Amino acid sequence: MQLRNHVGRLAGGIGERNVFRAGTLRSAADYIRAEWTAQGYRVAVQAYTAEGVPSENLEVTAPGKSNPGEIILIGAHYDSVQGSPGANDNASGVAALLEISRRFAERAPARTVRFVAFVNEEPPFFFWDKMGSMIYAKAARARSDAIRLMASLEMLGCYSDQPGSQNYPPLLRFFYPDRGNFIAFVSNFSSRQVMHQLVNAFRSCSDFPVESLATFEFVPGVSWSDHLSFWREKYPAVMITDTAFYRYAYYHSALDTPEKLDYDSMAQVVDGLAQSFAVLAG
């Protein structure tokens, strides 16, 4: 299974990857670059320096045929937090990114579909200007890119049918399931329309359980990924997640290792997402 192979390579073979381990950060970028090259893409690089370390956002594009100026952007960060091999956070998101891009390598979508592997999402860069997606989103706005949807793939590997396996911010537990067996789509209020379009597409393509939430950005966890950078630049953006620390016991720890993930459920999610993005891309 390719998802398992990607996670195993990033979190098992390469391991912790961030600017404080510059060699492994570079190895992760090289792995993604090689995978995309093998899929037939030309890899574009947005390079910059963070903490004195060369850092790269990597991008490939499936060009639109009838409406190429409109862009669906799918992204995931490939760095991991200090002290963690980052299997779920976020090798799972990168694995999904690579397998969804594989589907589009053989498609001719109406809209352009871009895939971006972001660097430096984790602290100390999160929220600040050296965060990879902040660099990217500002450049996209400066170019006047017509991004109709940005989807952030953030932790996709943990699922459980056990009662009580799902936690929430205050009050939400009264409205959502107590079992962590679903994939979640999360947006701010200004992105809720495109989020609902994506959720409806997912439901039409997959019977995997899905929940969605459009809410305030200050709710803990709601803005904690690369979609925040696009919200700041006034682009519609959605996070797709297994809900991270609200479900996953090994969040940001040394125990976030490849064998912890549910690859069968993850494969269903990725298949549904690939089909959903194809619907939105036309």
pLDDT tens, 237-255? 999 999 999 999 999 999 9
Position 265 confidence tier, pLDDT thresholds 50, 70, 90:
very high
pLDDT top residue among 227 and 1:
227
- pLDDT tens digits, one per residue of 14-32: 999 999 999 999 999 999 9
Q: Output the six-digit token pair for 165.
A: 């396996």
Q: How far apart are CA 248 and CA 224, in angstroms?
A: 15
pLDDT top residue among 153 and 107:
153
- pLDDT beyond 90 at 107: no
Average pLDDT over residues 180-203: 98
Average pLDDT over residues 199-205: 98
Q: How far apart are CA 60 and CA 87, in angstroms?
A: 23
Amino acid at 86: G
pLDDT of residue 203: 98
The region, left, alpha or beta by phi > 0 then psi within -120 to 50, assigned to residue 115 is beta
- pLDDT tens digits, one per residue of 28-82: 999 999 999 999 999 999 999 999 999 999 999 999 999 999 999 999 999 999 9
Q: How far apart are CA 87 and CA 155, in angstroms?
A: 9
Q: How far apart are CA 231 and CA 236, in angstroms?
A: 6
Q: Over pLDDT 90: what percentage of the chain?
A: 97
The CATH class of 2-281 is: alpha beta
Q: Is the N-terminal amide bond of 63 cis, ω within 30° of 0?
A: no
Of 22-36, 167-181, 257-271, the one with minimum mean pLDDT is 167-181
pLDDT of residue 106: 84
pLDDT of residue 143: 97
pLDDT of residue 1: 77
Considering the chain, what is the average pLDDT of its residues?
97
pLDDT of residue 170: 87
Position 263 confidence tier, pLDDT thresholds 50, 70, 90:
very high
Do 252 and 89 meet the contact criterion of CB atoms below 8 Å apart? yes
- pLDDT beyond 90 at 95: yes
Q: How far apart are CA 220 and CA 223, in angstroms?
A: 8
Does pTM surpass 0.95?
yes
In the chain, domain spans: 2-281
